[in-house]
């Protein structure tokens, strides 16, 4: 899975059973079935062309014809774009590597420069890859369906980047929650043609009937199930062809999971996440129906409803209401007369405005949207950042734990395998992952602001109070919270040696 044709894994203590993988996938899919109706309703009202859960169809089907209001679709797109800009902004360093708490002070400065270089190499690989495109699609899934999945693979040699990303649609992903509450077992069922199957897994792994179909040029896709699950501090991967006799197409082991699943919000006892679109779904349905009724009422107001006497002369089937039309009628009959409307639908505008406001509020479009005024003061910028951190605090913590940190560790594992970064594992002890996204910087900015206010209060007490402050340590702390590169700081002074009693101090 790391390349187009994965190398078969050596014989493991627990051999992979293709039939057992398909049975486990079927059981997990049965547990997912109660969610599919809700997901289908969410996607029908926000992304009607995106996913099929409870009905069949092709990518060219017109599935948005019954969608009359676009408020939710616009707000969901804005929220996904805001998540991309606040968590993983393109062409900007949003994560870095720093010395961990278990690293001794004597090695911290030397390792910091090495980690800063590795962070720059990681960001360069992300910038040259398709990460921004696929991450936005995964954020759309988490906004609409509550759960997103991102596949991180090693690109073939010669590609612009060593990393290749794929946003796995929620309709293809089947997830299982582990004992620690994380989505650690992931299945993906996707159709592959014989040619693509041979390119991905190798022609020698295909059964004879698939090899014959490839030689004949058949393009009929066949279902393949990929599975990733934890095993003994590593991750096992297997791909199985669904057939009367399941065929194991490939297997392997990874240091970090290639499938990264993450959620917007999680309720107790549920494996899949809940989305802001689910919360606003009643208002979205109502707004869509109100607009539909408004349009029907408008068509009645424009064309009207007419009545006519059956006088043997007037033929309603041949009447066309157009300027200059002469409609024949019998002598003494009333001819074609309009039917009075029973009432007016003016209250719909008040209801619709309230519904749209609640939809935009539920999808944070009124909070995370673009700035309306020409400019903002520094206080307004800080308040806006604090408001975003407050609203997205729980969601950001979950996304950092389930998406950002596993994503960085998986990318580093691929780059270490290629020899592009030093052999350092971001285990949180010797090397830690630090978030440098705008949302993380907002929190760090508040910490720095607290420190600066404390320094101002101490300075007001006089020189004697300032003598108790380590200004060098304060400067390093402020640089650390601001994400200043280690190369811009002077190395820390080495502590004086400890002399034994009676030693010569000359």
Is residue 240 a contact partner of residue 225, using CB atoms and an 8 Å limit?
A: yes
pTM: 0.81
User: What was the pLDDT predicted at 381?
Assistant: 61
**Rounded Cα distance, 18 and 437, in Å:** 42
Report if residue 118 sits inside a domain. Answer: no
- Kindly give the residue spans of alpha helices, DSSP state H, lying in 129-193: 131-144
Total structural domains in the chain? Answer: 1
User: What was the pLDDT predicted at 505?
Assistant: 45
User: What was the pLDDT predicted at 7?
Assistant: 43
**Rounded Cα distance, 396 and 87, in Å:** 8
Consecutive H or E run containing 147 = strand 147-154
**Rounded Cα distance, 90 and 226, in Å:** 29
Is residue 241 a contact partner of residue 222, using CB atoms and an 8 Å limit?
A: yes
Report if residue 176 sits inside a domain. Answer: no
DSSP of 258-304, one letter per residue? SEEEEESB--TT-SS-B-HHHHHHHHHHHHHHHHHHHHHHHHHHHH-
479 SS3 class: helix
User: What was the pLDDT predicted at 304?
Assistant: 65
Report if residue 447 sits inside a domain. Answer: yes
Determine the structural domain holding residue 480 and report its residue range. Answer: 437-489
Question: Which pair of tokens denotes residue 56?
Answer: 């069949």
Report if residue 257 sits inside a domain. Answer: no
Closest alpha carbon to 77 in 291, 355, 277, 278: 277
User: What was the pLDDT predicted at 384?
Assistant: 67
- Residue 93: count of CB within 10 angstroms of its CB: 17
- Residue 390: count of CB within 10 angstroms of its CB: 10
Report if residue 454 sits inside a domain. Answer: yes
User: What was the pLDDT predicted at 368?
Assistant: 58
**CA 194 from centre of chain:** 30
233 SS3 class: coil
Residue 341, CA atoms < 13 Å, CB-side half-sphere: 12
User: What was the pLDDT predicted at 330?
Assistant: 65
pLDDT in tens, the chain (506 residues): 444 444 444 444 578 899 999 999 999 999 999 999 999 999 999 988 776 777 666 555 666 677 889 899 999 999 999 889 888 998 888 998 888 888 777 777 778 888 889 999 999 999 999 999 999 999 999 999 999 999 999 999 889 999 999 999 999 999 999 888 889 899 999 998 888 888 888 888 888 888 887 777 777 888 999 999 998 888 999 999 998 889 999 999 999 999 999 999 988 889 999 999 999 999 999 999 988 888 877 776 666 666 666 666 666 667 776 666 666 666 666 666 666 655 555 667 778 889 999 999 888 887 655 555 556 666 666 666 667 667 777 788 889 889 999 999 999 999 999 999 988 878 888 888 888 887 777 777 777 888 888 888 888 888 888 888 888 888 888 887 776 776 677 776 655 555 455 545 44
- Kindly give the residue spans of alpha helices, DSSP state H, lying in 145-231: 194-201, 208-215
Is residue 242 a contact partner of residue 230, using CB atoms and an 8 Å limit?
A: no
Q: In the block, which residue shows the tokens 């627990």?
A: 14
């Amino acid at each position: 899975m790391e390349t187009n044709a994965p190398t078969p894994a050596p014989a493991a203590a627990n051999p992979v059973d293709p039939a057992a993988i398909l049975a486990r996938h079927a059981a997990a899919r049965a547990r997912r079935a109660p969610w599919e109706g809700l997901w289908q309703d969410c996607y029908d009202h926000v992304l009607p062309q995106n996913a099929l859960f409870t009905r069949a169809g092709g990518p060219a089907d017109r599935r948005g014809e019954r969608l009359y209001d676009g408020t939710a679709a616009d707000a969901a797109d804005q929220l996904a774009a805001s998540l991309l800009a606040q968590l993983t902004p393109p062409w900007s360093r949003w994560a870095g590597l720093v010395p961990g708490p278990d690293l001794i002070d004597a090695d911290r400065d030397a390792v910091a420069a090495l980690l800063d270089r590795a962070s720059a190499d990681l960001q360069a690989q992300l910038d040259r890859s398709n990460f921004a495109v696929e991450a936005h699609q995964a954020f759309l899934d988490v906004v609409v369906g509550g759960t997103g999945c991102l596949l991180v693979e090693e690109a073939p040699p010669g590609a612009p980047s060593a990393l290749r990303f794929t946003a796995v649609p929620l309709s293809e992903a089947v997830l299982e929650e582990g004992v620690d509450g994380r989505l650690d077992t992931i299945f993906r069922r996707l159709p592959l043609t014989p040619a693509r199957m041979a390119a991905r897994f190798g022609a020698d792994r295909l059964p004879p009937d698939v090899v014959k179909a490839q030689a004949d040029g058949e393009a009929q896709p066949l279902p393949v199930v990929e599975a990733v699950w934890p095993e003994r501090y590593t991750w096992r991967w297997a791909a199985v062809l669904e057939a009367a006799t399941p065929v194991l197409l490939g297997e392997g082991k990874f240091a970090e999971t290639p499938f990264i699943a993450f959620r917007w919000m999680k309720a107790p006892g549920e494996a899949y996440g809940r989305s802001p679109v689910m919360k606003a779904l009643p208002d979205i349905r109502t707004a869509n129906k109100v607009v539909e009724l408004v349009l029907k009422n408008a068509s009645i107001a424009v064309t009207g409803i007419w009545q006519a006497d059956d006088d043997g002369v007037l033929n309603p089937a041949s009447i066309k209401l157009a300027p200059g039309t002469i409609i024949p009628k019998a002598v003494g009959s009333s001819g074609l007369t309009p039917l009075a409307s029973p009432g007016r639908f003016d209250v719909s505008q008040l209801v619709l405005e309230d519904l749209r406001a609640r939809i935009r509020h539920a999808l944070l479009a009124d909070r995370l949207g673009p700035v309306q005024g020409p400019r903002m003061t520094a206080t307004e910028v800080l308040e806006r950042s604090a408001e975003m951190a407050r609203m997205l605090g729980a969601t950001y913590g979950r996304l950092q734990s389930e998406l950002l940190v596993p994503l960085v560790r998986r990318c580093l594992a691929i780059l270490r395998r290629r020899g592009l970064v030093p052999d350092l594992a971001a285990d949180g002890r010797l090397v830690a992952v630090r978030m440098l996204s705008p949302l993380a910087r907002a929190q760090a900015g508040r910490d720095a602001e607290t420190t600066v206010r404390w320094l101002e209060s101490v300075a007001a007490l006089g020189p004697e109070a300032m003598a108790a402050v380590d200004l060098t340590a304060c400067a390093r702390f402020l640089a650390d919270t601001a994400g200043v590169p280690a190369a811009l700081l002077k190395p820390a002074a080495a502590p004086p040696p400890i002399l034994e009693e009676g030693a010569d101090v000359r």
